[in-house]
Amino acid sequence: MDSGNINFKALWSAQKIEQPTLQNLRVRLDDFKKSNRKKIIITNSLLSATALFILFIWVYYQPQLITTKIGIVLIILAIAIFIISSSQNLNVLTRINEAENNQQYLKNLLVLKERQHFMHTTMLNAYFSILSAGLALYMYEYTSRMAIHWALVAYVLTGSWISVNWFYLRPRQIRKERSKTDDIISRFETIQAQLNQE
């Protein structure tokens, strides 16, 4: 069966390792569950704290204009989108059938990677646009009470901060993510090619 006179199978089974006790594996499983639970708890408390803080502003300062209220809702929405997408990434999007054959699994992984990247980009765009719109609306009520030049200063400052995010940080994030995704995709494709080589 073996080529030459090397008994590969005998050599192969010479590799031994002590079996960790089931206890050991359970501890690891618990750690895994705990860290997952911790992530969910952190996400939820961040989200609730932000929402509470903004609601507090709403109640305490009693905004008069509808623009301010819409602004607040949009800001909460943006933050929610950001937190949920960055944590749900771990769960919903990475779920994939682990018991497929390797060929199918690689195909699914490639689709998954693309989807993750798309989600990442879309979420990031949605987050920045909604947050900017929310801020602009929210500011209106307070700036309208200021002298015109101070109102302008406030909008210019906020506007330039948003521009830095939109034109510099956002594309940089997307590029970084893209190159990481491309790298992984090309390595999966290499394995696919190995399998399909005649």
Contact residues toward other proteins (CB under 8 A) are 2-6, 8-9, 11-17, 19-20, 22, 25, 28-29, 32, 98-106, 109, 180, 183-184, 187-188, 190-191, 194-195, 198
Nearer to other proteins, 47 or 106 (CB): 106
Under 8 Å CB-to-CB from 185, ≥6 apart: which residues?
A: 110, 113, 114
| Cα–Cα dist 136/57, whole Å | 16
Nearer to other proteins, 172 or 187 (CB): 187
Strands (DSSP E) found in 58-110: none
At its nearest, how many Å lie between other proteins and the CB of residue 119?
Answer: 16
At its nearest, how many Å lie between other proteins and the CB of residue 112?
Answer: 10
- Is the distance from CB of 175 to CB of 112 less than 8 angstroms? no
At its nearest, how many Å lie between other proteins and the CB of residue 27?
Answer: 10
> At CB < 8 A and 24+ separation, what contacts does 179-182 make?
181/113, 181/114, 181/116, 181/117
Nearer to other proteins, 8 or 150 (CB): 8
Nearer to other proteins, 20 or 171 (CB): 20
At its nearest, how many Å lie between other proteins and the CB of residue 28?
Answer: 6
| Cα–Cα dist 178/124, whole Å | 13
Amino acid occupying residue 153: V
Nearer to other proteins, 148 or 195 (CB): 195
Nearer to other proteins, 5 or 62 (CB): 5
At its nearest, how many Å lie between other proteins and the CB of residue 115?
Answer: 14
Shortest CA distance to 139 belongs to which of 74, 68, 35, 66? 68
At its nearest, how many Å lie between other proteins and the CB of residue 134?
Answer: 35
- 3-state SS record for 104-123: HHHHHHHHHHHHHHHHHHHH
| Cα–Cα dist 88/119, whole Å | 11
